[in-house]
Amino acid sequence: MPLVAGGVAALACAVVGVLVVAGVRGRVDDYDREKTTTAALSIVQMIKRDRLPGQLPEVDGIAAAQVLDARGRVVSATPDLVGRPAIASFEPDEDTVSTSRKLCPPAGLRGCMDVIAFRVFQPDGDWTVYAADVTTPWYASGSLVMVLVAMGLLVVLLTVLLTRRTVDRTLAPVDAIRSELAEITATESGRRVPVPPVRDEIRHLAETANATLDRLDAALERQRRFTSDASHDLRSPITGARAQLEEALMDPDLADWPRVAQNVLVSLDRLHAIVSDLLALARLDAVLHAGEEEVDLALLVSTELARAVRDTPTRVALDQDVTVRGDRLQLARLLTNLLTNAERHAVDEISVSVVADGRDAVLTVADDGAGIPPGDREAVFQRFVRLRESRDRDPTGTGLGLPIAREIARAHGGTLTIADSPKGARFVLRLPRTS
């Protein structure tokens, strides 16, 4: 970046320098031509007044001068051209008084010179006055070029230094962010990158990085908690089955093997249920979108209620044509989990309703049981969390039914919460509806 800025500054200085030199040279060239013309006119005045000497005095503004008579003979010249032939052979046109040319060099002289020729009307014919001066060089003035070069180099140097300083100050926060990110690991995920005080793109980058790290920390914490809880819940049925088998093997002749087998099957059933729910959660965690199928919630509820015979009466209130977009099987799993939970806690009946509320489709499953205290309404959606009443009513439960239901709701862009109810628990599912 500093080299690029220096190159741009050098190019700009070069362009400005060329324009300055060209402008100055033009002004100097015009000034020299005017001086040469003035000097030549003074010689013309000498001729007109018949005061032309044989040797012209040195005139300011010209390097050399000659006067030729009508026959082309040199009748007067500056000291360095006395006795020498004419320095030029061109003459003004018949209808002009003067003309000029650049000669490299004029006869008898050295170097390139600008030569002006004047026609002077005399009784014996037309005389010619030649006045020559050194051609203005392209740089006009050597000191000017040196000043421009020095200023250009100074500008380039200052540009490079300022650009380097600006780039260093700008990239310093980026380097700090990079260093911090390089040191963050799975075991030290609580660290965050520094946020610059200036509100610019780098600050937005740091804030976005920290937000991403927050989400990663939350995911890691869920993973650790999930692994810990899964290990504990998987260990319980395995330990129970192992203990019963070891006890029976201590005295195999007296063991009631059918009873032992039945108890081991119960443990295996619980283990199978836990593994199935874990696989369901793993699939939900890996799914990026829930599908694009249009699902009629009223039809889904009717189908699921008719599919399984339940011991608890179910009261339904279903609005028609309330559709959502998603995966029918996942939504059926969500509804089944809510119905199973409601049946576990219901005393007399379960109520299910489907209504349209603005842009949302609302599915409600409620029971008339003891309900869930407000302080525990979020805890029941955590994996493997089971309240005391739930454990008493169904010791074989996995504690994953409600977490699975909430994950399905989130995968469909919706929410699953527990609302206030006069009696029992009231689960409310809200999903974006299509109609």
What would the pLDDT profile of 349-392 be if each residue is shown by its tens digit?
999 999 998 899 999 999 988 888 888 888 888 776 666 665 55
Question: 431 has which bridge partners?
Answer: 361
Per-residue confidence (pLDDT) for residue 200, from 0 to 100? 74
Q: Assess whether pLDDT exceeds 60 at residue 1.
A: no
Per-residue confidence (pLDDT) for residue 361, from 0 to 100? 92
Mean pLDDT over 413-422 rounds to 89
Per-residue confidence (pLDDT) for residue 312, from 0 to 100? 84
pLDDT digits (tens, 9 = 90+) for 320-340: 889 999 888 889 889 988 998
Per-residue confidence (pLDDT) for residue 396, from 0 to 100? 55
Strand order in the sheet with 415-419: 314-318, 350-357, 360-367, 426-432, 415-419
Mean pLDDT over 58-67 rounds to 79
Per-residue confidence (pLDDT) for residue 403, from 0 to 100? 85
75-79, 227-231, 381-385: which range is least confident on average? 227-231
Mean pLDDT over 242-257 rounds to 83
- CB contact at 8 A, 409 and 365: no
Per-residue confidence (pLDDT) for residue 428, from 0 to 100? 94
**Residue 326: which of 398, 223, 431 has the closest Cα?**
431
Q: Assess whether pLDDT exceeds 70 at residue 120.
A: yes
Q: Assess whether pLDDT exceeds 70 at residue 111.
A: yes
Q: Assess whether pLDDT exceeds 80 at residue 78.
A: yes
Per-residue confidence (pLDDT) for residue 362, from 0 to 100? 93
The number of residues making up the chain comes to: 435
Per-residue confidence (pLDDT) for residue 416, from 0 to 100? 92
215-224, 281-290, 414-423: which range is least confident on average? 281-290
109-123, 159-173, 236-250: which range is least confident on average? 159-173
Q: Assess whether pLDDT exceeds 80 at residue 188.
A: no
Q: What percent of the chain clears pLDDT 70, i.e. is strictly above it? A: 80
Q: Assess whether pLDDT exceeds 90 at residue 148.
A: no
For residues 406 and 146, give the distance between their C-alpha atoms in angstroms, rounded to a whole number: 79
pTM exceeding the 0.75 threshold for the entire prediction: no
Instruction: Tally helices (H) and strands (E) across the chain.
Output: 8, 12
Per-residue confidence (pLDDT) for residue 237, from 0 to 100? 75
Per-residue confidence (pLDDT) for residue 432, from 0 to 100? 92
Pairing of strands 113-122, 98-103: antiparallel
The residues, ordered by sequence, that sit 6+ positions from 240 with a Cβ below 8 Å of its Cβ are: 263, 267
Q: Assess whether pLDDT exceeds 90 at residue 48.
A: no
Mean pLDDT over 197-222 rounds to 77
Q: Cis omega (within 30 of 0) on the bond before 105?
A: yes
Indicate the pLDDT class of residue 405, thresholds 50, 70 and 90: confident
Per-residue confidence (pLDDT) for residue 345, from 0 to 100? 85
For residues 5 and 155, give the distance between their C-alpha atoms in angstroms, rounded to a whole number: 11
Per-residue confidence (pLDDT) for residue 173, from 0 to 100? 75
Is the pLDDT higher at 168 or at 347?
347
The pair phi, psi for residue 154, each rounded to 5°, is -65, -45
Indicate the pLDDT class of residue 229, thresholds 50, 70 and 90: low
Q: Is 253 exposed, middle or buried (0-12, 13-18, 19+ CB in 10 A)?
A: exposed
Mean pLDDT over 122-141 rounds to 79
93-97, 123-127, 174-178, 207-211: which range is least confident on average? 174-178
The pair phi, psi for residue 100, each rounded to 5°, is -145, 155
Q: What is the mean pLDDT of the chain?
A: 79
DSSP string, 230-260: HHHHHHHHHHHHHHHHHHHHHSTTT--HHHH
